[in-house]
Structure 1
């Protein structure tokens, strides 16, 4: 790869792309809403939320000095992130809290990039994050899911025209923003049937000696605030 090619790639990464039309922003929002509300579609698209969820656990484990041992993604759209370190304290609390808050916060960060016109940066950044996450995947289904997702981001960013890239980027960001609260609602329903205390919210309640409801409220608040702020940025764009 010569200097000219590297310069061109850097310009694409740091440069801004044209504003998408308002109809494209609206249609991608409706498609994302359907991907969240339609049960059969959600069973497939929820895998993307699980990737973000477990990636959030893994990232905060590393940031807080814990030792990340591996991530597993399962075909029922559940996941598991294993890290070693102190079984209590701020690091453990932040790591446990990162799962349900990661998808909407990633959506909010993505909305910020799109509002600034950095569509290519979003697509390449997502590809890079998925490649890093792939290194920590410890099961075949998880590896396949991350590879397919990463390949989709890469191929869209590399082979398609600007309008298609914009549509894909907006669809992904809308999906993360709109889908941020559904896993919390599912967690709330699951806890009514399963009182094993193994959920993130139960673990946080034990770590902080606070009610589980407080953590459910926090998860909902992060999802709602991210949707309001991110949606406003996207619509104003």
Structure 2
């Protein structure tokens, strides 16, 4: 356990700027050409955002569902209105960008191993609240993959994986908000916020988009301060 703790808390060398840029290009390709797969990752983080903020606001988490169409649902009990419910609804679309930005800061400090273990712990806790078979299957596969990478990959490869996943979150976070703007729904997070706050759903969708874009810009500033030196 002491050896494991030492590995988690020890900073690893950050990959070269060329490797970081290449991993970003791979992530962009996945976002563009393997969107259904990437969207499931985004949905997991989206629902985790709802769940974490609901718990922080004193709401009682009832369960999480992940569906084969890459949608998800998080149910919590508490007041149907008020700041806690607003914060819970706000958290979903913003979560991938915020997590991506936080991960970028951790990676810039060389803490790729710690990042992977943090994700493994979060996924394990989230697994306890999954309430459908498909969601359980997806979470087991993702958790097994992250846990295996945390235990068996060499630190340099763990760092590469951390950068790839972080790029995926940052680059993909704005896309669901664009999809929401194109196909608004009364049952969406923005629609529910509109009913609670009387602020139009389009405004909330814009908040989601600006928030995820801000995280993307911040993540780019952290991950690629020297990428353009290559050119």
Shorter chain as denominator, the TM-score bin is over 0.9
Tell me the equivalent position of 2:128. 135
Tell me the equivalent position of 1:205. 194
Q: Is structure 2 residue 216 aligned with structure 1 residue 223? A: no
For residues 21 and 190 of structure 2, the distance between their equivalents in structure 1, rounded to whole angstroms, comes to 34
Tell me the equivalent position of 1:9. 4
Structure-to-structure mapping, 1:35-54, within 5 angstroms? 35-38=30-33, 41-54=34-47
Q: Is structure 2 residue 59 aligned with structure 1 residue 27? A: no
Structure 1: 5+ residue stretches without partners = 1-5
Cα deviation for residue 22 of structure 1 reads 1.5
Structure 2: 5+ residue stretches without partners = 227-231
Cα deviation for residue 187 of structure 1 reads 1.0
SS at match of 2:76: strand
For residues 18 and 139 of structure 2, the distance between their equivalents in structure 1, rounded to whole angstroms, comes to 30
CA offset digits 1:11-41 (Å, max 9, x no partner): 1111100121112101110111111112xx1
Structure-1-length-normalised TM-score: 0.93
For residues 164 and 116 of structure 1, the distance between their equivalents in structure 2, rounded to whole angstroms, comes to 16
CA offset digits 1:88-135 (Å, max 9, x no partner): 000000001111000000001100100111010000000000000000
Structure-2-length-normalised TM-score: 0.95
Tell me the equivalent position of 1:3. none
Q: Is structure 2 residue 79 aligned with structure 1 residue 86? A: yes
Q: Is structure 2 residue 65 aligned with structure 1 residue 76? A: no
Structure-to-structure mapping, 1:158-197, within 5 angstroms? 158-191=151-184, 195=185, 197=186
Cα deviation for residue 77 of structure 1 reads 0.1
SS at match of 1:82: strand
For residues 86 and 220 of structure 1, the distance between their equivalents in structure 2, rounded to whole angstroms, comes to 27
CA offset digits 1:185-229 (Å, max 9, x no partner): 1111222xxx5x111001111111111121111111111111111
Q: Is structure 2 residue 105 aligned with structure 1 residue 116? A: no
For residues 115 and 221 of structure 2, the distance between their equivalents in structure 1, rounded to whole angstroms, comes to 18
Runs of 4+ off more than 3 Å? none
For residues 159 and 42 of structure 2, the distance between their equivalents in structure 1, rounded to whole angstroms, comes to 20
RMSD: 1.1
